[in-house]
Amino acid sequence: MTEPEHSGPDPITGEGRRLIGLAYRLLGSLADAEDVVQETYARWYAMSRRQQEVIESPGAWLTKVAGRICLDVLGSARARRERYVGEWLPEPLPEDRTEWINGRSGGAVDPADQVTLDESISMAFLVVLESMTPAERVALILHDVFRYSFAEVAEIVGRTPAACRQLAWSARRRVRESQAPPAPAARRSGIVREFKQAWEAQDIDALIGLLDPDATAIADGGGVVDAVLRAVEGAERIARYAVDIAGRVPDLTLLERTVNGQPGLVARRDGVTVMVVAFDVATDRIKHIWAVRNPEKLRPWTVGPARHLTFPAVVPSDY
């Protein structure tokens, strides 16, 4: 009997989790990342066994293919997001989805040019990535996070190694300019807990005291649920809006959870997750709040059927 062409040990076993981690960081969407990885594997298995055996490093081949697919997706994402209703935010990750390792050995990288794994999945970092060109984004993630050389990045991006080095430098500068030094981890947790308690108590003054005067809050409803279509700016306006939400939905339960590797809050109603909130805390104040309400982006968090809640979609002028 002839042995099946693809029998024997599979050389790409165990690569899926790393590829998901790569694609999520590049795309900001777990659903899109899973599609990318599925397409990457489909291209591998479409080859004959002989073609596969010629490839010296299957893991590197998969990374190259996934990176190129992500570049294509990023190229079309801008047009798709222009049609998106309201603000678009990256899909938030529950705690158990953050343990992706880079799986990359060798290739020394200057520590000053690295982004830590935890930082590279934080909502603050992913939001900054949205301001970058697709090439900048790929160069930064592949080099600084996954430790690929610029020569290897160049094969994926289709530019010279020198150009990729410049892309990563430009991306790094964007990150530095947009992010203030974060507060210590324990302090971040404490501030988010205090915010939760003040929100539950509908204490406007306490909320204002926890927010930077120039803080911003962004909600992503995707046009599926009611949400503020533009950023709410200023500590007092954000505090009044939060209290208004608490008054409109009195049976909302707030839980302290890790969101994208950082202290965050999850809002549930009848056991169903209806909102995930991420925070950017610098010094002793909250500078940014990102609230994801689009049910499509909450699937990893949701238990039971989705519930659509009506939160105020417009911030009254006196806020």
Q: Copy the structure tokens of residue 311.
A: 């939160």
Task: State the pLDDT at residue 111.
Answer: 41
At 314 the pLDDT is: 44
Tell me the Cα Rg of the chain. Answer: 21
Q: Which two tokens stand for residue 84?
A: 């998106």
Any bridge partners for residue 288, and if so which?
Answer: 216, 280
Q: Sign of torsion, CA 179 242 262 77?
A: negative
For the chain, the farthest-separated pair of C-alpha atoms sits apart, in whole angstroms, at 80
Say how far apart CA 303 and CA 266 lie, in whole Å. 12
The DSSP letter of residue 253 is: E
Give the pLDDT score at 226: 74
The pLDDT of residue 120: 81
Joined together, the tokens standing for residue 174 give: 């964007």
Q: How buried is residue 261: exposed, middle or buried, by Cβ count under 10 Å (0-12/13-18/19+)?
A: buried
pLDDT value, residue 69 = 97
pLDDT at 94: 85
pLDDT single digits (tens) 33-82: 999 999 999 999 999 999 999 999 999 999 999 999 999 999 888 778 87
Evaluated on CA atoms 246, 249, 255, 256, the torsion sign reads negative
Pairing mode of beta strands 211-220, 272-282? unpaired
**Under DSSP, is residue 277 helix (H, G, I), strand (E, B) or coil?**
strand
pLDDT value of residue 101: 42
Ranges under pLDDT 50 in the chain: 1-6, 97-103, 105-115, 304-319
Q: Could you give the percent of the chain with pLDDT greater than 70?
A: 84
CA separation for the pair 198, 86 (Å, rounded)? 27
Is pTM, for the whole model, over 0.95? no
Helix %, strand %, coil % of the chain (to 5) = 50, 15, 35
Which residue type is seen at 90?
P
